[in-house]
Amino acid sequence: MYLLGLGILLLLMKYLEVDPVAAWSWWVVLAPFAGAVAWWAWADASGYTRRKAMERMDAKKKARIDKQRENLGIQGKRR
């Protein structure tokens, strides 16, 4: 996401002809977009995206269960 933001910022600066970026090659300005595409391809291929989504879902589930236990007055599991 950072690479996409950087790419948009550089593209806008190139379009508006801001001094240091206006002289740069288009390859340099468009490189963050290629980096973002490579990152997303790797994240999807390696399972990183799905793993992070499952971690967020598990955290929400645990918080919901803990809140329900607190509302019912149940402390923790006893052994």
b/e per residue, 31-48, with b = 16+ CB within 10 A?
Answer: ebbeebeeeeeeeeeeee
User: Is pLDDT at 79 greater than 60 in this prediction?
Assistant: no
Q: Which token pair is 33?
A: 């977009």
73, amino acid identity:
G
pLDDT confidence tier of residue 77, bands split at 50, 70 and 90: low
For the residues 37-63, what does the mean pLDDT come to?
Answer: 93
Proportion of the chain above pLDDT 70, given as a percent: 95
